[in-house]
Chain A
């Protein structure tokens, strides 16, 4: 009779574990005193029996990170998301000043593990992108984006790269089993960053066509500013798209996804309404004051609470992530979105920044008009 996988695992594990015989363990008092480790214990056959349930791979790690045991449960702060509600109240009182254009300038950084000269170290892939969105739909929309560039992440990483001869190309460190075609070499330390741009009125394709994902600029500027109206608007949108790919499965998920609206040029009243709605959701958790990667002070919020996500880093195919949005404490606008490691991995400490999207200080409404970039390729 075929046994289930689960039964076979239980059987293999329990039988394998029983290779450790009770009588072979040290005496109890040995464990309490903090003393040098015991040397070889156990029967000779057990020392030879390397029953290993591990992934044994070549790991060119530059440093070993010491992970900490999972901390005991932390009490939720007694004021919950009150800080977010207070911010919403403040934002609601701001004047609705708009200029000719809304300019959004983003700088993306992502940490990657690379190797050269037999050493592994970290590097950062950087990529800049800019949007000029006109208030008047008859004015042109302009986008500009830079080719990604790679540089060592820290001074220590820079030293490792130089010790390897400062090669123009480094090898990405990939999860074992990654196809060779996907585990590529990356150009390092390039001085110039190539760029491309688009320019045109009411574009219906390309990077300028859907700058706010599922929301059109017209929808953003007409968003309800009262709580009931906003919920009804979100519900109606969800119901009309139900069952289609990309639409949330439940209304709760759709409401939780409304944090995407914060990335758009909402009026202060609309932004306040969105912040109030998000503050009431169980998927929102205020982390408290924080600084963004540019050192600006803001309010850190997790809009993804309860949802597990992880990504590859180096050889580790699953490193838990923590997402944080840092909001301007005066305007409620986004300063940065930061993803930190939820656990340690080779070359990455728990809490280390894995990626960030910084909204640079030039972002906002302006009466300036976009100038076509002279040294960029037009798409």
Chain B
């Protein structure tokens, strides 16, 4: 279920609107959904907010060079997905230095808040390869189309389609659903 409207900001940013004004408006409209997207990928809100802040800062810095303003939202999403990938890799390094074999992925508080059934879904998705997890979150949280997912992830539509199909097949077995 989507709780945000994912559309380009109303009206194209005209010559008169400053970068600061437009980027601020973008955050008002899309900031929450982007933080939630990052949250689903990295697992904690603080990191998710940092990733999204970096993404907006990048848009702000590049504003003068962005020729197609309608591409700003896909650019933001791509920046968030890429930022999350970097976090996960960095996290793996830190985990190694501290001698922990795994980054803790679940807490008692979260399980209590979300319920065991949902926790099973998260556990199953957690076990999937990175690309499959990303496609599932973009598809079933943001409700993006194949074309939009392809643009965010920087891969072809064919890859999105085959990746989603593979992921759902694995989950069907893991979660013992009939498709």
Contacts and interface: CB of A to CB of B under 8 A. Distances in A.
B177 A53 contact: no
A89 to B, nearest CB: 32
B36 A20 contact: yes
Contacts of B28: 28
B71 A72 contact: yes
A222 B179 CA distance: 52
B26 to A, nearest CB: 9
Contact of B102 (A15, A56, A343): A56
Contacts of A78: none
Interface stretch (A32-40, A102-110, A213-221, A260-268): A32-40
A243 interface: no
A16 B155 contact: no
Contacts of A37: 50, 53
A10 B140 contact: yes
Contacts of B152: 70
A42 interface: yes
Nearest to A57: B92
Interface string A9-24: 1111111111110101
Interface of A: 2-6, 8-20, 22, 24-26, 28-32, 34, 37-42, 45-61, 64-73, 175, 306-308, 310, 316-318, 320, 342-343, 346
Interface string B136-154: 1100110000000001111
A316 B128 CA distance: 11
Contacts of A19: 39, 45, 110, 113-114
Given A11-B1, A20-B45, A318-B163, A49 B107 contact: yes
Given A41-B49, A56-B103, A32 B126 contact: no
B90 A51 contact: no
A53 B155 contact: no
A124 to B, nearest CB: 23
B1 A12 contact: no
Contact of A48 (B61, B107, B153): B107
A25 B88 contact: no
Contacts of A47: 44-46
Interface in B32-55: 32, 35-37, 39-46, 48-50, 52-53
A317 to B, nearest CB: 5
Contact of B31 (A17, A31, A66): A31
Contact of A318 (B41, B129, B137): B129
A32 B24 contact: yes
B92 A67 contact: no
Interface residues of B, number: 94
B50 A8 contact: no
Contact of A52 (B58, B106, B157): B106
A66 B41 contact: no
Interface string B104-147: 11110110011001100110011111110100110011000000
B126 A55 contact: yes
Nearest to B129: A317
Nearest to B76: A69
B52 to A, nearest CB: 8
B45 A12 contact: no
B6 interface: no
Contact of A342 (B36, B101, B154, B157): B154
In the complex, which of the residues A14, A37, A70, A73 has the most CB atoms of chain B within 10 Å of its own CB atom?
Answer: A70
Nearest to A45: B109
Contacts of A20: 32, 35-36, 39, 45, 48
Given A31-B57, A41-B46, A342-B154, 8 more contacts: A2-B177, A5-B179, A10-B141, A20-B36, A54-B105, A55-B126, A70-B78, A320-B159
Contacts of A61: 89, 92-93
B31 A54 contact: no
B177 A60 contact: no
A204 B71 CA distance: 57
A32 B60 contact: yes
Closest 8 CB pairs of A and B: A52-B43, A59-B92, A70-B154, A17-B36, A308-B159, A49-B110, A52-B105, A308-B158
A70 B153 contact: yes
Given A26-B49, A57-B102, A58-B92, A51 B78 contact: no
Contacts of A45: 109, 113
Interface string B147-179: 000011111111100110000100110010111
Nearest to B36: A17
